[in-house]
Amino acid sequence: MCTHVTFNHNLQRCRFIFLIVMACLLIFLPYFLTIAFGDDFTNGVGDKDNQLLSKKISLEEAIRIAIEKNPGLQSTRDQVDAAVGALRQSKLYPNPVLELLAEEIPTNEVGLNQSQNLVAVTQPIITGGKRGLGIKVSEKAKEKDEFERDAVLLNVMTDTKKAFYKVIGDQEGLAIARETEKIAKGIYDSEKIRFESGEVAVTNVLRAEVELSKARNLVFDAEGNLQNSLKELQTVMGIPEDAIAGVTGRLLTKPVTLSLNELELKMNNNQPFLKASKKNIEIAETQLLLEKRQVIPDINVSAGYKRLSSENIDTVQLGVEIPAPFFNRNQGNIQKGKALSRKAKSENLSVYNDMLFQLRRNFNSYNVELKRVIEYKGRILPKAEESLTLITRGYKEGEFNYIDLLDAQRTWAETRISYIESLKNLNLFIADIERLAVTKIGEQ
């Protein structure tokens, strides 16, 4: 009976130990696998972005990923964090200095019984409002870094839009190239059948085969352009090693009338790069005022207790230290501050002129490209479509020869490709204008 009880007790204890071991294995198994197989094991689990990149993405998704992963933008965020730390440091008051001093210690006795012992505290006093000016410099520097961060954010969004529009345009170009190849293949097959039936000469078949080869080369070029555009988009988004299947969306095709005066006004009021440049002027002028205040010396106030052990007397010591600015009146830094203030104003004017030139140039280019898009969409494309349809029908009925059909096919393909290229350029100009004027143009 006792043996049976002991056996059951041991069996229960073994089960308990087994359960503990299994629980530990389940908890620590991922760590063991990570050590054994490296980071590839954990990276094998697909995250949301990887699932997103396995399909075609929209413009909003591309911008979201770029804002999250673009390294240049992350660098500006870190710079703002550093500026916040600098501002916090500028608000801290100088630490007091604690002084412990033992003087006239006899050489024939170890200890402080016969020495003069001093305990004192010295506190620097910042005068002339220099501390407040230093804080103001740090505040303006933080604001400037924030404007620069916003400017980089605008640039990243614009670069993402432009790369995205290039992908859309190249996707359209590839679709046109494939459609051209399909038409050329149909013509080649038709001419081959007609040759075999004795209706046309062999030269028609050879020409059709040449046109088919050209159409296939056009597809190869379009596929290469699309791959390059996708790589550019991935790089701008900050994911150069990932893969994007393509993009969804369309290019802006509706004419939008823009006002240069309104765009210039919005640029002056909203452009963060201009605001950062203006903030540099404020920083330089505040720093110059701070350098002028450096002439006013700071004061060190000290108070302490001194014990004269040999005479058995307790004393109190008070002191004030004021540097005399006879030689160094901060002349060099004041001269430097004046020069930097002038430099900041000149740079601000240069930045403004450059951005104004870019805005006006893009505005003029936009209007020129807009006229081309309207002309293509309203007149050239419909006529090219109609011409190809009529000549194809007439060729089958014997009204037109083979050369007419090839010319109509080339004109149709070249016209559509030129239209897509013009439309893509129009959207690129819109993206640049939106960045410069910090505004939204049309519905995209």
Task: Summarize pLDDT for 371-411 with one digit per residue, the tens.
Answer: 999 999 999 999 999 998 898 888 878 788 777 888 888 89
Residue located via tokens 């001194």: 306
Q: Which range is least confidently modeled, 106-115, 122-131, 301-310, 412-421? A: 106-115
Are the CB atoms for 366 and 433 separated by under 8 Å?
A: yes
Provide the 3-class DSSP secondary structure of residue 119: strand
Return the closest-CA partner of residue 136 out of 199, 86, 96. 86
Residue 189: both structure tokens together? 């097959």
Return the closest-CA partner of residue 349 out of 426, 295, 280. 280
Indicate the average pLDDT of the chain: 86
Task: Map out the domains of the chain as residue ranges.
Answer: 4-43, 46-92+126-295+330-437
- Exposed/middle/buried for residue 431 (C-beta within 10 Å: 0-12, 13-18, 19+): buried
Residue 20, pLDDT > 60, answer no
Query: For position 197, what pLDDT does the model report?
Result: 87
Length of the chain: 444
Residue 338, pLDDT > 80, answer yes
Please give the Cα distance from 105 to 117 (Å, whole number).
9
Query: For position 3, what pLDDT does the model report?
Result: 42
Position with higher pLDDT, 41 vs 217: 217
Residue 323, pLDDT > 80, answer yes
Residue 437's CB is within 10 A of a number of other CB atoms, namely 25
Residue 196, pLDDT > 90, answer no
Residue 200's CB is within 10 A of a number of other CB atoms, namely 18
Which of the four pLDDT bands, split at 50, 70 and 90, describes residue 297? very high
pLDDT per residue as tens digits for the range 79-138: 999 999 999 999 999 999 998 887 777 766 666 666 788 899 999 999 999 999 999 999
User: What Cα–Cα distance (Å) separates residue 109 from each residue in 100, 101, 112, 116, 311?
Assistant: 20, 17, 9, 14, 16
Residue 162: both structure tokens together? 């432009």
User: What Cα–Cα distance (Å) separates residue 400 from each residue in 196, 209, 310, 376?
Assistant: 20, 19, 129, 26
Task: Please give the backbone phi and psi of residue 233, each rounded to the nearest 5 degrees, phi first.
Answer: -65, -45
Please give the single-letter amino acid code of residue 159.
D
What's the CATH code, domain 46-92+126-295+330-437? 1.20.1600.10
The percentage of residues in the chain with a pLDDT greater than 90, rounded to a whole number, is 60
Q: Averaged over 9-34, what is the pLDDT?
A: 52
Q: Which range is least confidently modeled, 147-151, 360-364, 382-386? A: 382-386
Query: For position 23, what pLDDT does the model report?
Result: 53
pLDDT per residue as tens digits for the range 219-239: 999 999 999 999 999 999 999
Residue 1: both structure tokens together? 């009976």
Residue 65, pLDDT > 90, answer yes
Q: Averaged over 361-380, what is the pLDDT?
A: 94
Return the closest-CA partner of residue 365 out of 274, 431, 270. 431
Are the CB atoms for 362 and 430 separated by under 8 Å?
A: no
CA dihedral 151, 154, 160, 166 (to 10 degrees): -110
- Mention every residue, 6+ apart, whose C-beta is less than 8 A from residue 179: none
Q: Which range is least confidently modeled, 61-65, 151-155, 308-312? A: 308-312
Angle at alpha carbon of residue 237, lines to 236 and 238, rounded to 5°: 90
Residue 39, pLDDT > 70, answer no
Residue 43: both structure tokens together? 């990276």
